[in-house]
Structure 1
């Protein structure tokens, strides 16, 4: 399925001035809107689905981007909302994203149980854990990234999760997320994020810390934070999608390249 065919519908659902859901008859996640003519009609994206790649048609390997971040770091929220999410929407078919919420946090084993201290306080630890549990429960990136974008772009990351779930993942109960957050599963998942972050080479010294195709350099970081759309289009080795002929998301929201230092 060509992901880029979902651009208009995703933009309407997630980037509009008002938060609105899919048409009432559309009861499937965005990743399946073009799975059949019936579903496309119900979700009002028939025209956008006409250009789907035929089964078996080869595709070049998507660009891989890994984001190591903190849920309340202003620079991380800015990058995720103003660069990463719009670029993913426009280049959906040629970009794979991995999210690792932990960043500059610290962990300590106390009597056999991991405890975490976060750069921006306990609310950030809560946000990191919420997003980690959300990813674990949903598994589907197309769904959990919509929820995380909704959380990170709103006024309160931790306070917005209930409303964001209602819009983008109504089958997931907030109580189930919180059971993970407060239980052993959440601690285990956060410890894994800590291990992945501590294993970075070179070691991170700020967030957002960005890997492109498994590599981090100062140049790649600067390009990603200033013009991610252009970077992804330039690195993709297959036929360029139509979106790459546009100018991409406006960089106006990123007047300076900011970071949260370790």
Structure 2
């Protein structure tokens, strides 16, 4: 099992057990090898506002793209533990342009080998020839969930509005290996501790009603089941395929056009703040020879190193003894089986010889 798998499983275990207060490890402070919690220092600038005047037309915001699937367990954990904490931190949406791209490992199925041709825009979108069909990693319900997420962002482009709904969807939708609450106890599905809210088509309207202030669930659903929704999925496919290197695990995080590594994605807040500081620094006046870069308050509370999960110590001699002991038991079992088979054959032959006599 590689380091990435260990990190994700440990996050899941911490979330289930409640051992770490929600968000404290990833957004409020870092946990070092000794278990002590520490906060990032603030070398980039004071908490007091600093004036800076970038040239007109300069885009100093950090572009953040997160490639996900609507029913991916990892995307669910990442949204709740990392992405959600960054977005909710004070001032972070003022320095970043966030977009979520629901596609992931979905594949486009061409019917009869004929290409899909899109005509029109918005509600007037239609296809010449066969409509596209998709094969999603976690089934047809995930394709529908991806369409819900794409339509919500298209119809309501204000990130303050759509992120609440998408975060609600990703964290409540049943991911792989999870079962709705009403099934987890009554049937033989997942345990209550892994219960979820249902499939995307069930969760999305509820999230819109609860946190999508001003959204029209009926309008979004109409988009999902129309050529417009299919077109948005095709656009997400193109955006995903344009990323280099191509996403090989999810979530896949791209900051200012460059995919980030695993540690940088887990430290998304620090990654965004550092990128923002490097873009703004040239426009900040020097004070005593130093450029004091203004940063949102949230930047002063992100950890500067990923969480460290201590590895369990193993006794190599004990493991060797287990391997040798297991091998001996296996050989003994094969020997007994062979002797029993041989004895059975010999007895059969003696019986046949007596019968012939």
TM-score by length of 2: 0.51
Query: Which residue of 2 is the match for residue 184 of structure 1?
Result: 227
Query: Which residue of 2 is the match for residue 62 of structure 1?
Result: 61
Query: Which residue of 2 is the match for residue 124 of structure 1?
Result: 142
Query: Which residue of 2 is the match for residue 225 of structure 1?
Result: 265
Q: 1:137 aligns with which of 145, 155, 162?
A: 155
The 1:250–1:120 alpha-carbon spacing in structure 2 relative to 1, beyond 3 Å, is farther
Query: Which residue of 2 is the match for residue 96 of structure 1?
Result: 97
Q: Kindly state the Cα deviation for residue 135 of structure 1 after the two structures are TM-superposed.
A: 1.0
Query: Which residue of 2 is the match for residue 172 of structure 1?
Result: 215
Query: Which residue of 1 is the match for residue 319 of structure 2?
Result: none
Checking the alignment, whether the CA contact within 8 Å between 2:255 and 2:272 is kept in structure 1 is: no
Q: Aligned-pair RMSD on alpha carbons?
A: 3.0
Distance in 2 (alpha carbons) for counterparts of 1:187 and 1:78 = 27
User: Which secondary structure state, in structure 1, belongs to the residue aligned with residue 228 of structure 2?
Assistant: helix
Q: Kindly state the Cα deviation for residue 205 of structure 1 after the two structures are TM-superposed.
A: 1.8
Checking the alignment, whether the CA contact within 8 Å between 1:181 and 1:187 is kept in structure 2 is: yes
The 1:174–1:100 alpha-carbon spacing in structure 2 relative to 1, beyond 3 Å, is same
Q: Kindly state the Cα deviation for residue 226 of structure 1 after the two structures are TM-superposed.
A: 2.2
Q: Kindly state the Cα deviation for residue 214 of structure 1 after the two structures are TM-superposed.
A: 0.6
The count of residues paired between Structure 1 and Structure 2 equals 202
Q: Which moved more, 1:188-197 or 1:172-181?
A: 172-181
* Richer in helix (by share): 2
Q: Kindly state the Cα deviation for residue 149 of structure 1 after the two structures are TM-superposed.
A: 0.6
Checking the alignment, whether the CA contact within 8 Å between 2:209 and 2:217 is kept in structure 1 is: no
Query: Which residue of 1 is the match for residue 203 of structure 2?
Result: 160
Distance in 2 (alpha carbons) for counterparts of 1:185 and 1:241 = 37
Checking the alignment, whether the CA contact within 8 Å between 1:229 and 1:249 is kept in structure 2 is: no
The 1:247–1:188 alpha-carbon spacing in structure 2 relative to 1, beyond 3 Å, is closer
Gaps of 5+ in 2: 1-21, 23-46, 112-128, 173-195, 281-293, 311-357
Gaps of 5+ in 1: 1-16, 18-50, 257-262
The 1:234–1:250 alpha-carbon spacing in structure 2 relative to 1, beyond 3 Å, is closer
The structure having more radius of gyration, on CA atoms, is 2
Distance in 2 (alpha carbons) for counterparts of 1:150 and 1:53 = 33
Q: Kindly state the Cα deviation for residue 184 of structure 1 after the two structures are TM-superposed.
A: 0.9
1:245 aligns with 2:246: no
Checking the alignment, whether the CA contact within 8 Å between 1:87 and 1:248 is kept in structure 2 is: no
